[in-house]
Amino acid sequence: MSDAQQQPIRRGIGPSALGQLARDRGLRFAAGLAVAVAIPVAVLFYFQFRSLNDLQRASAVVLRQLSSSTANELAKSVQQDLKLPHLEVLLRIGQSDTEPINLPVIEPMFREGLRKNPFVDAFYVWSDRDPRYAGQVLALERDHPVRPGPNGLLPTGPVQATLKVGVPEGPFLLAEMRDLARYKRAILLYEAVINGRPTRLEFQLRFNNAARDRLTSFVGFRVDAERLRDIYFPAMVREQLRSLQVPTGFPPLVVTLVDGKGQVVFNSSDHVPDRFIDERTFPLVFFDKDLLEALRPYEPQVDTWRIRTGYGDRTIAEIAAARTGPQVGLMAVLAAVMAIGVFFVARAAAREVRLAELKSNFVSSVSHDLKTPLALIQLFAETLELGRLKNTDRAHEYYRIINSEARKLTRLINNILDFSKTEAGLRRYRAEPLDLAVVTRGVLASLESQFRQNQFTVTAHLPDGQSPILGDEEAIEQALENLLSNAMKYSPEHREIEVESGQSGRYAYVSVRDRGIGIPPRLRRRIFRKFYRIETDEGCGPQGCGLGLAIVDHVMRAHGGFVQVDSEPGRGSTFSLHFPMHAEAHVDEADSGDRRRAADVARSA
């Protein structure tokens, strides 16, 4: 293979042709003049666009408010209805009413509870301090299950119920309650099969004393799980939707109720939509959900149900845009001509503002990065000086922290000093044969305390016997430290770093791979610029002066090598430093690297 074929593909990062045109003063003046001429027309377009945007925003606000408020009200109403038997029946029957059983007081409350809560099939009471019933379980049970009317709503008439002494399921319930009483909890939520049907039960237990040594009585109720799911919840949602008012000109609001297994229980339209705007969840319990923590260590299986609201398979943005789409499209085509002129002026101003911001951020970041390690060094040094530590191992840990922060401070100062020399064209390199794997091991050893302090796991694949390179050991160490420092800064969650060295063609390489935030393709040309730092989704990035990769760029140029970047947002980045091997290596001892931009760095993804 010829030398030309073996050369790595190198892609420039210099200004594009469009950028060179944008910096042309004559072109900027022409663009500004065009904008000045177009201002009267642009003002007219602005007000027209503004009126259309206001209409679209108002429509979006109305749609979102309707969806959100409906979801909130439905979730609140469901939870409030489910709590009523507990609040208005179980808690209102005192222990004095159950020991002995005071039927003249209890029975009216049970009947009123059945009337107000259609999902309850029966109420129970038991006491071991009432000889009249010899420990039997009493129940006020509906004569007929509740059925929805023709409109899908539940009837509101009087309740037909019969008081029964010694119900068939009584011995089973009594045995279960006595068994669960060992948890000493006043509330028990229980699932069982009664009369061949899956049932949910809730009981309020009463004990002989504050220590809850022995169960003496209980009151509770029974809910048929299938009728709750298939009859009550759909009827309740229909009742709520009857009072819902949808603004004219908008699509109807679709309400979907999903059970704990992900199955649709109710949907207000003929088609179950694939998307929704708002979702509210609620646990299927018959008391305040905050009381679930009080049930520990007895924790029942609780299903989480969901109420979803939306507008079918259309988003709010799509619905709002449909009302103003044609007008916006026409205005956008006409306004595009004006935007071209504005672009050139705004681009020139943005460059100036960006440079000023970068310089300001540089000063702020350097001040912060200098103060932070200095403060830690001072804190731990004063602690050691005053002799407040009696534990030798703790003292050694403090010494390690001081050493680590001092190295971090030294690296920051070296970066600033080296960058100053680079900008002035004064930085020199001393060439000598080096084993890249040995140099890399030394850098990893020097940063070991930082890796341990920041809880990073570093995996190194550094085989021996590689061909030597010709380079400046101190500069290469600095470049590797900057890459490893960046890997730690931009890996807030997955704290794993992989370091590997090897040979690729005529080049020896060392790569640093992290699992951090990654670099979007549009930013890969910028990361080697001075003062530039990647920002996270929250709008700011880790602290730093933005010089690390600029120095790496300079070091690699001076060594006749290149940097390869392979990155995917959200999955991490791999930076590989490629050095010519010893027989072909050449280091310019006097060149700062910035004077020969023609030999650009290969940065590819």
pLDDT tens digits for range 370-389: 666 777 777 777 777 777 77
Give the pair of three-digit tokens for residue 473. Answer: 């050991």
Q: Over the stretch 532-580, which tens digit does the pLDDT of each residue have?
A: 766 654 444 445 566 778 888 888 888 888 998 988 888 889 999 999 9
Give the pair of three-digit tokens for residue 255. Answer: 């309400």
Q: What is the pLDDT of residue 535?
A: 60
Residue 494 and residue 88: Cα distance in Å, rounded?
51
Per the model's pLDDT, the better-predicted residue between 48 and 515 turns out to be 515
Amino acid, single-letter form, for residue 602:
A
Q: Over the stretch 82-115, which tens digit does the pLDDT of each residue have?
A: 989 999 999 999 989 998 899 999 999 999 999 8
**pTM higher than 0.75, yes or no?**
no
Q: What is the pLDDT of residue 446?
A: 85
Reduce the DSSP state of residue 270 to 3 states and report it: coil
pLDDT band at 29 (very low <50, low <70, confident <90, very high): very low
Q: What is the pLDDT of residue 343?
A: 58
Residue 306: closest CA among 244, 260, 240: 260
pLDDT band at 141 (very low <50, low <70, confident <90, very high): very high
In order, the DSSP letters of 55-79 are HHHHHHHHHHHHHHHHHHHHHHHHH
Residue 229 and residue 388: Cα distance in Å, rounded?
65
DSSP secondary structure letter of residue 181: G
Amino acid, single-letter form, for residue 546:
G
Q: At 344, which helix (H) or strand (E)?
A: helix 316-385
Q: At 418, which helix (H) or strand (E)?
A: helix 392-424
Sorted by where each starts, the structural domains of the chain and their CATH numbers stand as 91-231 (3.30.450), 426-580 (3.30.565.10)
